[in-house]
Structure 1
Amino acid sequence: MPEFLQQAKPHCLYFAGFITDKEQVKRDIALIKKNYGNDVRFHIFDCESKNVNSTKGKPGFEGILEFTGSEIAAKGEKFVREEARKLGEALLHVGINMVFAPCFDLDLGSSIISGNGRSYSANPDVAFQMSDAFAEELEKLGIRTIAKHFPGHGSADGDSHLGTVYADPNTFDIELKPFVKSLEKKA
């Protein structure tokens, strides 16, 4: 077995269906830490925007990500940062230290992206600016982020959770731009 796998630590991903309220998450994480110490490295939520948000409708998480990605972007970068900070502070309070977010995908008509209000924009520069600001604010608080999803998802003709989808090869170059800009910034 490769060395890096021998040293890998497990993580816990919390799905919205198993979350009852903010205090329950806090208790669960405390119990995991008590039983496993630092062996569980990451406690992860999926929190992109209004419709893909592990905190949605859960007591104690009111006022967190109540807007779609495009609604957040329309209010500007300052608002994006405020939303990310509110989310980050709530997650830190319970012990979450990683999120599947932000969504770098472009809003190009995909039912899984456009239909769920996940993308910030069809414009790659705006999508990058807003996604990058969201990630920066969370990372300032010590929460790691995982950019979602992948180039091509914004034009996919269906839900990739349910089966094979077709991504328009003519949009690949434009869909790649926010991801490339993010990688270049971090390099």
Structure 2
Amino acid sequence: MVALFVGLRLYAVLGRRTGHEQQPVTRPDAVPGSEAPAPITDIAPERSEGSGLVYEDRAATGIRAIVSADPAFDVARFLEGAQAAYRMILEAFWKGDREELAYLVGGDVRASFEEAITERDAQGYKLDNRLIAIERAVIEDAELNGRTARIEVRFDADIAAVTRNEAGEVVAGSLSDAVQTHDVWTFERTLGSDDPNWLLVETDEVA
């Protein structure tokens, strides 16, 4: 799902068909309160929590608006790609790879990441973090404002976090004890623009 060229990475993994996907998911059932099936194919394979929730109810209207404006958008592929982007961004931040982050992150989030990297470098610290597993990923909300699409994804993950000093000694954390994390990341893209990237523009830690 990750494009060969860095500049197209989030475009490739967040909701565009490339010809290498699995078989498309089936048409959803009728929207509650309506008499006809939802006029969008490939919106979600399942809605129940037990079988793998793809999006929350409050995201449905926004998803429909985005698909109507950009028929090539595929919500199931987006969620798969969002998980790949989650890993890519975390690893770039942990390594202090500013160039990589510039292609993946925008707005205040990018500035905050760069500030944290600068402070970390000044202290001589290195992060030896590992993303152990993404336990759950679900689209919590979506909206289309003009041509700007925004999608919020909640990630529940296990991360092993270790901070080392210049000598390589552990000053905080442990690789043997993973920490549960709960975050909502907001991805944004202007539909129809020459820039194909979805950028991470907001992060929130949740309970």
TM-score under structure 1 length normalisation: 0.28
Looking at CA atoms only, which structure, 1 or 2, has the larger radius of gyration?
A: 2
Higher relative strand content: 2
